[in-house]
Each structure stands twice: as C-alpha cells, then as structure tokens.
Amino acid sequence: MKTVTLSSLQAFKRAGEPFSCLTAYDASFARAAGDAGIEVLLVGDSLGMVLQGHSSTLPVTLEDIRYHTRCVARGKGASLLMVDLPFMGNSTTERLLENAGELMRAGAELIKVEGEAWMADGIRELTRRGVPVCAHLGLTPQSVYQLGGYKVQGREAEQASRILEDARTLVEAGASVILLECVPASLGRAVTEALDVPVIGIGAGPDTDGQILVMHDVLGVTHGRTPRFVKNFMAEADDIQGAFRRYHEDVKARRFPAPEHGF
Ligand code: KIV
C-alpha cells in the first residue's frame, strides 16, 4: 500500500472509493492491520474499555494515549495514524494545543476531538498551527453521562439538522475529516453528501466515505452486549490477518456495513 495521507482520503472521496479504518493499540496489531490494507489506524480512547476494562472512555489519560500512540507509530507502516484527544484534553485552549502537540510528537498524523460546534475555536487554533483535525460528532462517548447512555443520535429531524450544521461549522473552522458515530443511515448519507471533506462512519450507514470499527469487535473478543453496527470478521477467517483482510475487502466492496448494521 502507498503511504496514506489526508490527500489520499480526499482522493478516495472524490473517486467514490470507500476506505477502511480500524482502532489499534500496539505495534504488532498495527502492522497486521496495515498489511491487510487498512488505510487509517486510530489510537482510540476506547482503549479504556477494551484494554483497561473500564465501563467508559473517561478514565483514559493523555499519558495512556501517548504510550499507545508511540507503540502503534512503530508498527503502522503506510496507514495514516489518527489519535484521540482524551476526555477533558480540551478543557482550555492552552491545554488543547499542548496535548495535541504531545500526541503529534508521539507520532499522530491526525488528531480526533469530540465536541459540537463549540469546538470550532479550538479546531481553528489547531489547524492554524499545522495540526490536522478529525471532528467526532453524533454519539460522542466522552459525553456518555450527559447523553444518558450509548444511544443513537439524530433520530429526530431537529437533532439531525443540528448535527449536520455542527459538521459544516467544524469543517469551516478547519476540520479535515468528520467522524460520525451511531446516527441513522439517512443522516450519514446527508452529512457525507453535504461536505467536501471525508466522512468516516461507525454505525452511520453504508454511505459514509470511510468505515471504522474497534479492533476487538472485528476479532469477536467483545464482552457483553455487542452494538448492532459491529461484525465479528473472525467468524469467517482462519486467522487475525484474514479477519482484518476480510473487513478491509468488505468495506472496499461496500459489503460492510450491511442494512442490518445500520439504524
Ligand atoms: O475511541 C474509539 O475507538 C473511537 C471509535 C469508536 C471511533 O472513537
């Protein structure tokens, strides 16, 4: 695979070619995912749940993310490395800039921030300083207590228009990528069509430019109730590399997500 950059993601969008994204937390799995063709790796704060055993992403610290970013950066090969800003990492603009700087120094190539239109100023400050940003909208797990649980967002017309407007505002502020989590497929399509920048979806239907899943879900090592948008690719593969390849190929061929994975 050729080195994946933001320009590659924009080219995928222009060509109507979907791209695959997967979380990764260490060098070995990052290498396996890159070898399978996965274009974007995310050091997600989901590590608080799948690695550390917490019930939310809130306990994850900058130091945790920085450590796993360094690990993934060593194994990532040609994939683009996106990294999550942890909970409260944006509590002030100074903190946001310093934290993003630390993560870029650790190997991040794209910083993902959760937040709505109010994040516009922070995104403007980051992009002014050369830090590319992915803005995460819809179900934002760092706000799980405010949202009252891990629920689909944007089901009502008013909330759906607000998510679309927030996405427009954040792109105007400089966001290079939008990530939409757990929204109706119709909203996933509307946001993707309305924006010039690539839109990555998880539980956002089949029409977003890219798809992302948590690695543990792809490998079927999720405990408890699995969300509807998840598929265990290990069930159809002989080994981990095969499961990653199957996920990548199914995204590229638009076989995943299927209608049953959407809202
Ligand atoms: O932290 C994470 O893994 C994420 C994905 C679920 C998109 O934000």
Mean pLDDT value of segment 15-24: 98
- Domain membership of residue 11 (yes or no) is yes
CATH at 23:
3.20.20.60
How much is the average pLDDT of 109-138? 98
SS3 state at 239: coil
Burial class (CB in 10 A: 0-12, 13-18, 19+), 231: buried
Pick the closest to residue 50 from 178, 179, 223, 213 (CA basis): 223
Q: Which two tokens stand for residue 161?
A: 């228009």
- DSSP, collapsed to helix, strand or coil, labels residue 260 as helix
Binned at pLDDT 50, 70 and 90, residue 224 comes out as confident
End-to-end CA distance of the chain: 33
Q: Whose CA is nearest to atom 6 of ligand 1?
A: 214
Amino acid identity of residue 190, one-letter, is A
Distance (Å) from CA 92 to ligand 1 centroid: 22
Q: Return the pLDDT at 222.
A: 85
CA 239 to each of CA 3, 206, 216, 220, 244: distance values in angstroms, whole numbers, following the listed order: 25, 26, 14, 12, 9
The reply to whether 114 sits in an annotated binding site is yes
Count of the separate structural domains present in the chain? 1
Testing ligand 1's pocket by substitution, the residue of 41, 45, 72 carrying the most ligand atoms inside 8 A of its CB is 45
Q: 9 Cβ partners below 8 Å, 6+ apart?
A: 19, 39, 40, 80, 177, 198, 209, 210
Q: Is 64 labeled as ligand-binding? A: no
Q: Return the H-helix or E-strand segment holding 71.
A: helix 62-75
183 within some domain: yes
Tokens of 165: 């407007």
Residue 65 DSSP class: H
Domain assignment of residue 40, given as a range: 6-261
Please report whether residue 130 resides in a domain: yes
pTM of the model: 0.98
Residue to mutate, 20, 23, 54, ligand 1, most ligand atoms under 8 Å from C-beta: 23
Q: What is the pLDDT of residue 7?
A: 98
The tokens of 88 are what? 């409260």
User: What's the pLDDT score for residue 223?
Assistant: 80
Q: Residue type for 64, please? A: D
Q: Across the strands, what pairs with 200?
A: 179, 210
Q: What angle do CA 100, 24, 131 make, to 5 degrees?
A: 20
Contact 3, 239 (CB under 8 A): no
Residue 163 Cα, ligand 1 centroid: separation in angstroms? Answer: 18
Q: Residue of the nearest CA to atom 1 in ligand 1? A: 44
Question: Mean of the per-residue pLDDT values for the chain?
Answer: 97
- Active-site position among 102, 165, 181, 249: 181
pLDDT at 263 over 90: yes
Per residue in 72-103, pLDDT tens? 999 999 999 999 999 999 999 999 999 999 99
Q: Which atom of ligand 1 is nearest to the CA of 202?
A: 7
Closest CA to 19 of 167, 175, 198, 184: 198
β-strand partners of 138: 181
Residue 1 in any domain: the answer is: no
In this structure, is residue 200 part of a structural domain? yes
118 C-alpha to ligand 1 centroid (Å)? 20
> 79 with 4: CB under 8 angstroms?
yes
